Amino acid sequence: MSRIGILPIALPEGVDINIDDNNLVSVKGPKGELSQQVDTAIKIKVENQEIVLERPDDEIRSKAMHGLYRSLVNNMVIGVSVGYKIQQELVGVGYRAEAKGQLIELSLGFSHDIHIQLPNEVKVETKTERRSNPVITLTSCDKQLIGEVAAKIRSLRPPEPYKGKGIKFVGEQLRRKAGKSAAV
């Protein structure tokens, strides 16, 4: 048995789920609306405020799809009810971030500023306080999309192992290397 696939998904209040004939699952809640096409072999049922996914047999592919689609539907339910938030910190002298609507302007030590246009589903806030590093906060109901946007921002200046300068997630522990030691 798939340990993830057999778990039922609790349906919070205010969240509606719609499953049509060709296994298109649509979830609607206070934070937004998401939809996902599910493999036709996986059966989805809603029973007394819980979503249950069942697979037809115990083949390897069926087991893999069972756990995968259970996780995707669970992420959609959490996203439309609670939402997802990712915070990134810019560590470095002179690094700054400024949000202008759906556009982020980043100054990361290059000879030019970097402008990133965000999708409409992702909301962005930037916070810059004296004596602390600038923080970018991304919020969305789509876990996959917000992860892709955060990875794109981080790829512009990944943290380096000697001083730790770069874009890192808030609370992330970086592996630091010792620098050159002086010869005696």
Distances from the Cα of 114 to the Cαs of 132, 141, 157, 168, in angstroms? 21, 26, 11, 17
Distances from the Cα of 160 to the Cαs of 18, 88, 166, 175, 181, in angstroms? 46, 15, 6, 9, 18
Does this chain's domain 9-81 share its CATH topology with 84-169? yes
Per-residue pLDDT at 181: 77
Domain assignments of the chain as residue spans, ordered by start = 9-81, 84-169
Q: What is the pLDDT of residues 141-166, one digit of tens each?
A: 999 999 999 999 999 999 999 999 99
Q: Which CATH class is domain 84-169?
A: alpha beta
Q: What's the rounded Cα separation, in Å, for the pair 5 and 52?
A: 9
Asked if residue 89 lies in contact with residue 168, where contact means CB atoms within 8 angstroms, the answer is yes
Q: What's the rounded Cα separation, in Å, for the pair 88 and 150?
A: 8
Q: What is the pTM of this model?
A: 0.89
Q: What is the pLDDT of residues 100-152, one digit of tens each?
A: 999 999 999 999 999 999 999 999 999 999 999 999 999 999 999 999 999 99
Question: Residue 1 pLDDT more than 60?
Answer: no
Asked if residue 5 lies in contact with residue 66, where contact means CB atoms within 8 angstroms, the answer is yes
Q: What is the pLDDT of residues 56-114, one digit of tens each?
A: 898 999 988 999 999 999 999 999 999 999 999 999 999 999 999 999 999 999 999 99
Per-residue pLDDT at 76: 96
Which three-class secondary structure state does DSSP give residue 155?
Answer: helix
CATH topology classification for 9-81: Outer Surface Protein A; domain 3 (3.90.930)
Q: What's the rounded Cα separation, in Å, for the pair 157 and 166?
A: 5
